[in-house]
A and B are shown apart, each in its own frame.
Chain A
Amino acid sequence: MALLSGGSGHGYELKQAIEHEFGTLLPELNSGQIYSTLARLERDGLVEGEAVADDNRGKKVYRLTQKGRNVLQDWLGVPVPGARLKDGFFVKFVVATSVGLADPTDLIDRQRDEYLQSLRDLDARLASAPHGPTAELLIEGAVLHLKADLEWLDLIEERLARRSA
């Protein structure tokens, strides 16, 4: 929708715009995803499609409706919530350790392995092949989140040690 806010475009143009933005890091985009998304937006009255006059393949040019523009503005106006109080590992950790199902240190060790491996995966992706600045920022953000997650594991371990000391 944001890509349509500057004017109109058909599915293929949108596909190209997204590919341009995310660089060669992304494999070929699935056009089905784009068309099904546009169809859903049209059904909800957020975009309107107009058939191209001299095209018999049913090609359509899409533009934002006023309702679509409002929804887009609302979406942009609300900041993304900051606190992430849901964490899959922590649920496992609390549940398993409270009933003595698992050794807490063992759970932390295995989670740390996974985070370190994920960090390795992301660094390898950053180091490989040329890619656009947007994808690079996304990966670097994920790296920083992982580093925070690893620090959190250290903190949990430290608290555990202090409690058992």
Chain B
Amino acid sequence: MTALLEARGLSRTYDTGGAPVPALDGVDLAIERGEFVVVIGPSGCGKSTLLNLLAGLDRPSAGEVWLDGTRVDQLSETALARLRRRRLGFVFQFFNLLPTLTASENVELPLLLAGRRRRQARRTAHRMLDDLGIGDRADAAPSQLSGGQQQRVALARALANQPDLVMGDEPTGSLDSTSAGEVLGLMRAAHARGQTLLLATHDARVAAAADRVVTMRDGRVTRERAMQPSRPVTLPFDPDPA
């Protein structure tokens, strides 16, 4: 079976005036359909670069990106934009909502761009915001929303076109622990419904929720580990099994 998303020998070098700096150095990684994969590693290890390349937000210096059996790293900007809209949702650390639009309009935008009618887009957006528990804030501007609420809107926007894959770069990175827990819960729910997730994170709780944890260092993948099903937890006062 072909992987949903695949990086083959992916490299990205930045020219900063002096010697070229490799941010990503020959990464091979395959994400299967329905998987929940988390990338961890110290700041500057290349995890954001990897996500940007896989999402088509940046172009590799070398290597290939394959989406569902099609090579996508050499597509034109227009074709890439269309592909991103249909097949990919992206959640950012700082939400990146359009400040002049309401919460609902932010979610409607990708629907309209995908060719849906205005009324239908509005109905879908409202339903999604309802599902994420912020239906009553649909007409609020992003600036009137808390961080947790803004990230819910961003998640609704990412999920609006029912993409094959949702990626996130530190999606809980600017949230307090309660909001982070809620946003993680919503992402887990999306995963439970069959959504494929690929997240870069420093948040240990997000990493612990994944099926597979990929560790990066210095632009390379140094470890991949499948998480095991949860083990029983014994608390003090639990009687001895004997």
List residues of A whose CB falls within 8 A of some B CB.
18, 22, 25-30, 33, 105, 109, 112-113, 115-117, 119-125, 135, 138-139, 143, 146-147, 150, 154, 157-158, 161
Contact = CB atoms under 8 A, between A and B. Distances in A.
B208 A119 contact: yes
Interface string B198-211: 00000011011100
Contacts of B230: 120-121, 123-125
Contacts of A27: 238-239
Interface size class of B (residues with CB under 8 A): 20 to 34
9 contacts: A25-B235, A27-B239, A33-B239, A109-B222, A116-B227, A119-B208, A123-B205, A125-B230, A161-B42
Given A116-B213, A120-B209, A146 B233 contact: no
Contacts of A26: 235, 237-238
A123 B237 contact: no
Interface in B1-60: 42
A120 B227 contact: yes
Residue of B205, B228, B237, B239 most packed against chain A (CB within 10 A): B237
Nearest to A135: B235
Contacts of A124: 230, 233
Interface SS of A by simple majority: helix
A147 B237 CA distance: 24
B3 to A, nearest CB: 23
B82 interface: no
Interface in B89-126: none
Contact of A143 (B205, B213, B215, B231): B205
Nearest to A128: B230
A150 B235 contact: no
Contacts of B239: 27-30, 33
B223 A139 contact: no
B233 A18 contact: no
Given A29-B239, A115-B204, 4 more contacts: A120-B208, A121-B230, A121-B231, A143-B205
A122 B233 contact: yes
B55 to A, nearest CB: 25
Contact of A116 (B204, B238, B240): B204
Contacts of B222: 105, 109
Contact of A117 (B208, B223, B237): B208
Given A109-B215, A109-B223, A154-B42, A147 B228 contact: no
Interface string B212-242: 0101000000110101101111010111100
A88 to B, nearest CB: 18
